[in-house]
């Protein structure tokens, strides 16, 4: 065993030596991935591989931004509670609910995205604004949307947690307070809307259970009998369009 380990170590050392000699013979390494050049207009242009690296890094935090700064949280909570109220188990599946929540979130966030594009993204791409200033303005636009849909009590609660004083303006509230307050407010509102949706289906379950008990059919599952009636009620009032429309309209424009 020791002899075999020594042979493997010798092979690895030989491979490293050959690689080092090849690199040394090829001249200095080409690190174009880290190159940047100043532009005449005052901006900075980066090499394409570095732009791809920055893009891939941004994609890693995209799910967190989707949950922390958009309407996705409230919408997916309401849709999940609605599916639970219907009693359809995994129908519609999670992929469908997430897709519907994404589309509805795009409708809600469209005015915010247009303002973000106008005030931060377009000037930065055109080289008319520095990156730090564009980031600051973009965060301000997103924070304005978040605070417009956040309950004041949640903002005060998180401000007290960090020992912050009263803020004179909404723009003075830092993102470290606005983000968790927005998420908590979204979850609260989502559960409130889900509760209102749950009540009609709960009434149907209670009525069906009472009828089955009066008929002595205690071995029959009330959920199995009430499911067709709940589906009939939900489809007859065009429940999906009504629910998604109410969710989109619940945000201030």
**pLDDT, tens digit (0-9, with 9 covering 90-100), for 179-192:** 888 989 999 999 99
Q: Which domain holds residue 105?
A: 62-195+239-249
Query: What average pLDDT does the segment 22-28 reach?
Result: 43
The DSSP bridge pattern shows strands 36-38 and 44-46 to be antiparallel
pLDDT at 32: 47
In a domain, 49, yes or no: no
- Is the whole-model pTM more than 0.75? no
In a domain, 52, yes or no: no
Phi first, then psi, for residue 36 (nearest 5°) are -140, 150
Distance separating alpha carbons of residues 23 and 31, to the nearest angstrom: 13
Distance separating alpha carbons of residues 87 and 221, to the nearest angstrom: 12
Please, are residues 231 and 86 in contact by the beta-carbon 8 Å criterion? yes
In a domain, 83, yes or no: yes
Distance separating alpha carbons of residues 207 and 101, to the nearest angstrom: 32
SS3 category, 151: coil
In a domain, 206, yes or no: no
In a domain, 5, yes or no: no
Total domains in the chain come to 1
In a domain, 232, yes or no: no
In order of 155, 210, 212, the CA distances from 216 in angstroms are 54, 10, 6
In a domain, 25, yes or no: no
Query: What average pLDDT does the segment 27-31 reach?
Result: 43
Distance separating alpha carbons of residues 122 and 158, to the nearest angstrom: 33
Tens digit of each residue's pLDDT (9 = 90 or more) over 208-239: 888 888 877 777 777 778 888 888 888 888 88
Which residues fall within 8 angstroms of residue 221, CB to CB, at 6 or more apart?
none
Distance separating alpha carbons of residues 81 and 22, to the nearest angstrom: 62
Tens digit of each residue's pLDDT (9 = 90 or more) over 53-84: 666 766 677 777 777 788 888 999 999 999 98
Distance separating alpha carbons of residues 188 and 194, to the nearest angstrom: 10
In a domain, 186, yes or no: yes
**What average pLDDT does the structure give for the chain?**
76
């Amino acid at each position: 065993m020791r002899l075999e380990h020594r042979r493997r170590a010798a092979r690895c050392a030989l491979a490293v030596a050959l690689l080092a000699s090849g690199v040394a013979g090829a001249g200095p390494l080409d690190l174009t991935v880290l190159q940047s050049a100043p532009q005449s207009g005052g901006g900075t242009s980066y090499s394409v591989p570095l732009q791809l690296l920055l893009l891939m890094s941004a994609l890693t935090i995209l799910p967190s931004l989707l949950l922390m700064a958009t309407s996705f949280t409230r919408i997916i909570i309401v849709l999940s509670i609605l599916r639970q109220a219907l009693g359809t188990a995994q129908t519609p599946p999670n992929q469908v609910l997430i897709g519907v929540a994404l589309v509805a979130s795009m409708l809600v966030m469209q005015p915010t995205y247009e303002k973000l594009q106008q005030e931060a993204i377009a000037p930065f791409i055109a080289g008319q604004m520095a990156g730090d200033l564009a980031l600051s303005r973009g965060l301000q636009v997103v924070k304005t949307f978040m605070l417009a849909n956040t309950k004041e009590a949640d903002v005060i609660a998180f401000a007290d947690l960090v020992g912050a004083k009263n803020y004179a303006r909404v723009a003075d509230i830092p993102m470290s307070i606005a983000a968790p307050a927005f998420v908590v407010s979204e979850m609260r509102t989502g559960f409130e809307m889900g509760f209102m949706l749950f009540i009609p289906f709960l009434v149907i379950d209670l009525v069906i259970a009472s009828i089955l008990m009066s008929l002595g059919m205690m071995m029959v599952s009330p959920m199995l009998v009430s499911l067709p009636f709940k589906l009939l009620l939900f489809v007859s009032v065009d429940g999906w369009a009504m629910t998604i429309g109410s969710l989109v309209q619940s945000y201030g424009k």
